[in-house]
């Protein structure tokens, strides 16, 4: 028996698993800008709150490599989807799948070796402390109560940090000096909808971000405030 086409509409959309990844990057960009403004108001160095955010980049830390003294050494954050699992018992086989997506948020810090009055400070030590500082900032942003549902309340039901692990990037089988990283792993529960239904409107989702050729994310529009979580 010949199978007849059963989907009458063009599949011209992205799945929620992709929207969640982009929303995490968007939140980090927006809050980084806000933190810089707050730092200026408090007469503090806003550079300590500036993040360069990538999505799905393979080796974003390569921006640190090179001898140029004026290179941008601001912290780098790379957000990427790692895996998804479906909960069959909480899903509908026709229209809705309950999904838990796992996202890695890698935070990179760069350090330069220098001499101080008390002795020598290694670049690797400075890089490790910087990566940990950035991971702290990222964790506090994503786990803030304001982002309980990542601004996607009708779709996302939970977000949680599963783990944090320090690591050193490797190139050609060798550890890269003066660059350290911390990987934050987040789990996000959400509903993935199939084309057989109209679906739930994704209220408040306006991913107006763009990517450069190397995966760096930047803002191109203003964003509405995410919905406040219900107490």
> Does residue 158 sit within a domain?
yes
27-73 pLDDT per residue, tens: 999 999 999 999 999 999 999 999 999 999 989 988 888 766 677 88
> Does residue 99 sit within a domain?
yes
> Does residue 213 sit within a domain?
yes
> Does residue 152 sit within a domain?
yes
Instruction: Report the 3 state secondary structure along 161-227.
Output: EEEEEEECCEECCEECCCEEEEEEEEEEEEEEECCCCCCCCCCCCCCCEEECCCCEEEECCCCCCCC
> Does residue 229 sit within a domain?
no
Query: Predicted confidence band at 193 (pLDDT cuts at 50, 70, 90)?
Result: confident
The CATH number assigned to the domain holding 104 equals 3.30.2000.10
> Does residue 6 sit within a domain?
no
> Does residue 145 sit within a domain?
yes
Residue 176 has pLDDT above 90, yes or no: no
Please count the structural domains in the chain. Answer: 1
Q: Which domain holds residue 141?
A: 16-219
Model confidence, pTM: 0.81
């Amino acid at each position: 028996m010949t199978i007849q086409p059963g989907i009458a509409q063009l599949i011209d959309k992205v799945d929620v698993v992709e929207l969640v990844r982009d929303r995490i990057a968007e939140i980090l960009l927006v809050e980084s800008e806000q933190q810089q403004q707050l730092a200026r108001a408090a007469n503090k160095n806003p550079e300590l709150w500036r993040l360069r955010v990538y999505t799905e980049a393979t080796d974003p830390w390569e921006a640190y490599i090179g001898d140029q003294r004026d290179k941008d050494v601001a912290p780098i954050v790379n957000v990427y989807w790692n895996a998804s699992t479906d909960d069959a018992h909480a899903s509908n086989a026709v229209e809705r799948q309950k999904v838990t997506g796992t996202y890695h948020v890698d935070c990179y810090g760069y350090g330069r070796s220098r001499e101080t009055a008390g002795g020598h400070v290694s670049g690797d030590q400075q890089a490790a402390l910087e990566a940990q500082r950035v991971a702290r900032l990222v964790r506090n942003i994503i786990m803030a109560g304001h982002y309980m549902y990542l601004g996607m309340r009708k779709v996302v039901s939970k977000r949680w940090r599963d783990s944090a692990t320090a690591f050193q990037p490797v190139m050609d089988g060798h550890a890269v000096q003066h660059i350290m990283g911390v990987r934050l792993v987040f789990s996000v529960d959400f509903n993935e909808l199939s084309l057989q239904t109209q679906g739930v409107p994704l209220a408040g989702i306006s991913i107006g971000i763009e990517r450069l050729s190397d995966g760096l994310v930047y803002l191109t529009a203003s964003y509405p405030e995410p919905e406040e979580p219900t107490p």
